Amino acid sequence: MEKKTSQETLKAYRKRIDTALDNDFLRTAMDRFAVAYKEGRKNAFKDMDTDDLIEQVAILKKKAIENRTALLEEFTFQAEKKGIQVHMAADAQEANNIISHIGKAANCQKVIKSKSMTAEETHLNPWLENRGFKVTETDLGEWIVQLRHEGPSHMVMPAIHLSRYQVADLFSQVTDSRQDAKIEGLVKVARSTLRDNFIEADMGITGANFLIAKTATMGLVTNEGNARLATTLPRVHVVLAGIDKILPSLEDALKVARVLPRNATGQQLTSYVTWITGPSQCTSMETDKREMHIVLLDNGRSAIADDPLFSQVLHCVRCGACANVCPVYRMVGGHQMGHIYIGAIGLITTYFFHGRENARNLVQNCTNCGACKAVCAANIDLPRLIKEVHARIQDEEGHPLKSLLLAKVLKNRKLFHGLLRSASLAQVPVTGNTPYLRHLPMVFSNEHNFRALPAIAKVPFRDRWKKLKPRIDKPAMKIILFSGCVQDFVYPEQLEAAVKLFKKGSVDVEFPMGQSCCGLPAMMMGEKEAARDVAIQNVKAMRGFNAQWIVTLCASCASHLTHATRDLTKGFLPDKEIKDFIQRIIPFSDFINRFAPETVLPGGKDLASHAPKAVSTAGKGKVTWHSPCHLCRGMGVRNAPKDLIAASGQTFVQAEEEETCCGFGGSFSANFPAVSREILTRKLDDAENTGAELLVTECPGCVLQLRGGAVNQERNLKVSHLAELLAGTVKTSSD
């Protein structure tokens, strides 16, 4: 395994990622998994109210964390009554120390473990091995990675990065006999070889999925049966579990167990759920009872629980789903997507459990697509917390120059817009004859060659507005147009298309000049202060316009303004004004779809008359849709745009992975161009597989990524914004 040293630079981390991207087996395996998982999960939750079940988990975990002091006391009291020896460990080292002492005192030499992420967290194995214990992992995947001297690459499937051939080679060495690369057979090798280890072991170490305060019962959710042997054959049983695992009652645990396996692997229930209440019968002990210890690990958990924002991290039930759906995880695998804990939750907990040095680069490896949040078994706002960790790290270590610059520029709208204007002049020699700029000045990086980049518009939308503003006699309603910087300065034509549609529907449009960047790029770069500054500017810019809605054609702006404004501006602006601002934010397609039939577009859904001729004459008129992450998951808008495409007279064809991220993620694509490129390629494959010639989306960031990729990869696919399709202004040439 590639070692992650504490000094690892972003550059070195990227190199590690490049190696992972070159791993063809990993690529294919992860792609298959990503698609299969979604289907499996859907089936497992069939006929159930998934949101409600997850909400119940979130609520009960929240209560348990809030009530943790009393629960811990109750659990300890009950456990001791049942004959369990309870130990409190403040940190990883203390936990390891307690366990090695238990082992020495009970004269244990051979230790078997069933899978425990908490033991990975404390690096228990090397600790015990250095003290003379022989430690054997017995979960098949864990055993494989132990034999390879690696860490797990997934919380539920630790060896998902390996092929059957690699396992066969490994097992051939272990058994000193050639083993075929047949999975059934390899599993039997593990069964047979490890059985001796179980029989000979003095001590069994397990984690716990639940610790029930009422009866001091521990619950283990497993498939292989190794945890049952590990808690039955050895004479000493040590449980290592975080204090966050304590729940009041069996009922709570059963409610978690209802969601956990379904969310983890698409199983309705795992093969085994084992409930152990204190030392059970053990015939190899004179007392006829096993020696049982529970080591309760804090390791920063109390501090997290006290943090109003981050306490939700402790609601995690370790299902691993946030990795299963993550587009970045899919590309780079677990060893690059977490330190010990993997996936979205890993990006966050690494900071708390394993320190800033290990988290610094990791937290930037996120496109902010929100897929993890949408699937989380405990409803944790993972993307937000990832950004917050990034901001904290920068506050603690000092901000890098490029992010400082960005913050400084963003805070001063006139300076920012001035720079963008001059960039449009500066790029002339760079872009040559093409309309594509190699180095978009907004993104301070030179590794963007994987997609063609658009030029800064000669005249930004804001400078065209005076001429564009429609005069409407009897307006049906009045709206504010929020452009965001990419559309304003790169794609003003998308806004113009929308204005055309608004005019048709007698909608009066205002464009407040005081509006600025939405602030998401600042958040993505860990510049929370700058994000706050622009948030305040934006709310203030809307003053005095008296419009019903604030419509935006940028899904990322919509989502950021809706979800981040309250926290950023609270205490800086009147509560009512903030609320009023947030409630009026609406994505373009949602607005048109809601109001088109009656008000905005006379003729209602019969938009066929405005069908863009350019497209229908160019080919079969098949149109597919890429749902921006911040539209489908961020704003919950899923059908409106597709209805509009169909109503526009085009043949709508659905892509299989319509809601999968395009890989843009603002500064993400600048920091991790190689990952971004791979995500993009898969996205374009998926769109092309539909047979469509036009890929429509509703976010300028997605347009930038997708169109740039389509041009660079010479795909037979045009990309446009929904507004252009509806207004009939889709260009026929590739620009």
Partner 1 sequence: MDHHQLIQQFKEKAQLVSATIHPEMTLETALTTAVKYCQKKSSCQTSRPWESPPGHQDNGGAREHVKTIALPENHASLETLLSPMCSSRGIELVTKNFRNHARGMDMGITFADYGIADTGTLVIGCDGEDMRLATMISDIHVALLPQSRIRSTALELTDELEDMMAAPGAYTAFITGPSRTADIERVLAIGVHGPLELHIMLLKD
What string of H, E and C letters represents the secondary structure of 411-477?
HCHHHHHHHHHHHHHHCHHHHCCCCECCCCCCCCCCCCCCCCCECCCCCCHHHHHHHHCCCCCCCCE
**How is residue 240 written in tokens?**
């290592």
- List the single partner that 226 binds among ligand SF4, partner 1, none, CB under 5 to 8 Å by kind: partner 1
Residue 250 contact partner, candidates partner 1, ligand SF4, none, CB within 5 to 8 A by sort of partner: partner 1
Which of ligand SF4, partner 1, none lies near 382, with the C-beta cut-off 5 to 8 A by kind? Answer: ligand SF4
Nearest approach in angstroms of CB 88 to ligand SF4 is 24
Q: Which does 318 bind (CB under 5 to 8 A by kind): ligand SF4, partner 1, none?
A: ligand SF4
Please list, in sequence order, all residues whose beta carbon lies within 8 angstroms of the beta carbon of residue 552, skipping any fewer than 6 positions away: 481, 482, 483, 484, 558, 561, 585, 586, 587, 588
> Which of ligand SF4, partner 1, none does 376 bind, CB closer than 5 to 8 A by kind?
ligand SF4
Q: What residues numbered 364-423 form the site for ligand SF4, per CB under 6 A?
A: 366-372, 376-378, 380, 382-383, 386
CB of 264 to partner 1, least distance (A): 11
Structure tokens at 192: 């047979």
- The site partner of 372 among ligand SF4, partner 1, none (C-beta below 5 to 8 Å per kind) is ligand SF4
Q: From residue 509, how far is each of 310, 423, 477, 504 by CA, in Å?
A: 40, 28, 9, 12
- Contact positions with ligand SF4 (CB under 6 A) in 353-372: 366-372
From the list ligand SF4, partner 1, none, which binds 119 (C-beta under 5 to 8 Å, kind-based)? none
Q: How far is the CB of 568 from ligand SF4 (least distance, A)?
A: 19
Min separation Cβ 140 and partner 1, Å: 4
Triad 106, 133, 126: Cα angle to 5°: 130
**Number of residues in contact with ligand SF4 under rule CB under 6 A:** 28
Q: Does 721 bind ligand SF4 (CB under 6 A)?
A: no
- Cβ closest to partner 1, residue 41 vs residue 721: 41
320 binds, among partner 1, ligand SF4, none (CB under 5 to 8 A by kind): ligand SF4
What is the nearest approach in angstroms of partner 1 to the Cβ of residue 4? 24
Residue 327 Cβ vs ligand SF4, minimum distance, rounded to whole Å: 6
Residue 370 site contact among partner 1, ligand SF4, none (CB < 5 to 8 Å, cut-off depends on kind): ligand SF4
- Beta carbons within 8 Å of 605's beta carbon, 6+ residues apart: 596, 597, 643, 647
Q: In angstroms, give the least distance from the CB of 61 to partner 1.
A: 17
Measured distance CA(620)–CA(613) in Å, rounded = 12
**Cβ distance to ligand SF4 smaller for residue 293 or 633:** 633
CA 564/CA 517 separation, integer angstroms: 14
Return the residue of 34, 241, 328, 522 that touches ligand SF4, per CB under 6 A.
328
Neighbours of 650 (CB within 10 A): 24
Q: Which among 131, 370, 135, 84 is positioned nearest to 241, based on CA atoms?
A: 84
Cα separation, 68 vs 248, in Å, equals 9
265 binds ligand SF4 (CB under 6 A): no
CB 556 within 8 A of CB 482: no
Shortest Cβ 660–partner 1 spacing (Å): 19
Closest separation in Å from C-beta 141 to partner 1? 4
DSSP 8-state class, residue 343: S
Residues 295-324 that bind ligand SF4 (CB under 6 A): 316-322
Contacted entry of partner 1, ligand SF4, none for residue 81, CB cut-off 5 to 8 Å set by kind: partner 1
How far apart CA 105 and CA 236 sit, in angstroms, is 11
Q: How far is the CB of 449 from ligand SF4 (least distance, A)?
A: 22
Least spacing, CB of residue 214 vs partner 1, in Å? 8
Residue type, 17: I
Q: Where in 586-625 is the site for ligand SF4 (CB under 6 A)?
A: none
597 binds, among ligand SF4, partner 1, none (CB under 5 to 8 A by kind): none
DSSP string, 390-415: HHHHHHHH---HHHHHHHHHHHSHHH
**Residues 673, 699 contacting (CB under 8 angstroms):** no
Closest CA to 407 of 553, 267, 519: 519
CB 712 within 8 A of CB 450: yes
CB of 196 to partner 1, least distance (A): 8
Q: Which CB, 225 or 470, lies closer to partner 1?
A: 225
The CA-atom distances, in angstroms, between 108 and each of 58, 239, 294, 581 are 40, 16, 17, 65
Alpha-carbon gap, residue 166 to 25, rounded angstroms: 11
Q: Which one of 70-78, 245-253, 337-345, 443-451 is the stretch in contact with ligand SF4 (CB under 6 A)?
A: 337-345
326 binds ligand SF4 (CB under 6 A): yes
Closer Cβ to partner 1, 41 or 387, answer by number: 41
What would the two tokens of residue 61 be?
């975990």
Task: Please say which residue, 59 or 419, places its beta carbon nearer to partner 1.
Answer: 59
Residue 128 · residue 155 · CB < 8 Å: no
Residue 265 binds what, of partner 1, ligand SF4, none (CB under 5 to 8 Å, by partner type)? partner 1
Q: By the criterion CB under 6 A, which residues form the site for ligand SF4?
A: 316-322, 325-328, 343-345, 366-372, 376-378, 380, 382-383, 386
